[in-house]
């Protein structure tokens, strides 16, 4: 499957989804807790952003910055003593942006039970050069049927993000034209 976005002159060689896939693991401690005694959602979100950023940097071959986070879902609470695994991979690439899918798994550090999914998120990263300007990224090649599904779903999320952004911009322009000052 190839990227539907126009590519700059001098195409960049494609990379497979496996080329930059990574897992970040961390044991949750008392300093990670919220007032309810479970791990603070912000701690999990930072781990998600860290893992996704590593994947985006690997895939793009250089610096990449977080542009947005979509659909951060917390499915189960994470507790002190849980070993959290944050698995991330590039799902889709555009000209200078990438969607990274992240799955958060947790297991008790001292038990031999399988890890369970406790969260997921989709993040968009923009590859940047030394001046902070967008730079091209390699197209991603989905390898498995699951990767192809993730690629197609990422295209749908991108379409929705762009439509939402357009609709909000149009609404704000209309309100400004009507003299409504927000």
Angle at 45 between CA 133 and CA 131, to 5 degrees: 10
Six token digits for residue 108: 């008790």
DSSP, collapsed to helix, strand or coil, labels residue 86 as: strand
Distance CA 8, CA 118 (A): 39
pLDDT, tens digit (0-9, with 9 covering 90-100), for 11-50: 789 999 999 999 999 999 999 999 999 999 999 999 999 9
Question: Cα–Cα distances in Å, from 40 out to 54, 88, 166?
Answer: 22, 20, 33
DSSP, collapsed to helix, strand or coil, labels residue 12 as: coil
Give me the tens of pLDDT residue by residue for the chain, a chain 182 residues long: 334 444 444 578 999 999 999 999 999 999 999 999 999 999 999 999 999 999 999 999 999 999 999 889 999 999 999 999 999 999 999 999 999 999 999 999 899 899 999 999 999 999 999 999 999 999 999 999 999 999 999 999 999 999 999 999 999 999 999 999 87
Question: Cα–Cα distances in Å, from 129 out to 21, 49, 74, 104, 134?
Answer: 22, 20, 33, 30, 6
Distance CA 48, CA 18 (A): 18
Question: How far does CA 71 lie from the centroid of its chain?
Answer: 10
Distance CA 53, CA 41 (A): 18
Closest residue by Cα to residue 97 from 136, 46, 53: 136
> What does pTM read for this prediction?
0.88
**Strand blocks (E) in the chain:** 15-16, 22-27, 64-74, 82-93, 97-108, 116-127, 140-141
What pLDDT score was predicted for residue 10?
Answer: 54
């Amino acid at each position: 499957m190839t990227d539907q976005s126009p590519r700059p002159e001098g195409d960049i060689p494609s990379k497979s989804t496996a080329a930059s896939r990574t897992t970040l693991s961390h044991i949750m401690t008392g300093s990670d807790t919220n007032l309810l005694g479970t791990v603070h959602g912000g701690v999990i979100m930072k781990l998600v952003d860290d893992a996704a950023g590593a994947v985006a940097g690997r895939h793009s071959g250089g610096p990449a910055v977080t542009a947005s986070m979509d659909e951060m879902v917390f499915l189960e609470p994470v507790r002190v003593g849980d070993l959290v695994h944050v698995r991330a991979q590039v799902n889709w690439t555009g000209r200078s942006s990438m969607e990274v899918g992240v799955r958060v798994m947790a297991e008790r550090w001292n038990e031999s039970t399988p890890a369970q999914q406790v969260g997921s998120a989709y993040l968009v990263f923009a590859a940047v050069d030394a001046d902070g300007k967008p730079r091209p990224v390699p197209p991603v090649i989905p390898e498995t049927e699951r990767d192809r599904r993730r690629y197609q779903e990422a295209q749908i999320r991108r379409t929705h993000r762009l439509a939402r952004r357009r609709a909000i911009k149009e609404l704000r322009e209309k309100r400004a034209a009507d003299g409504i000052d927000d």
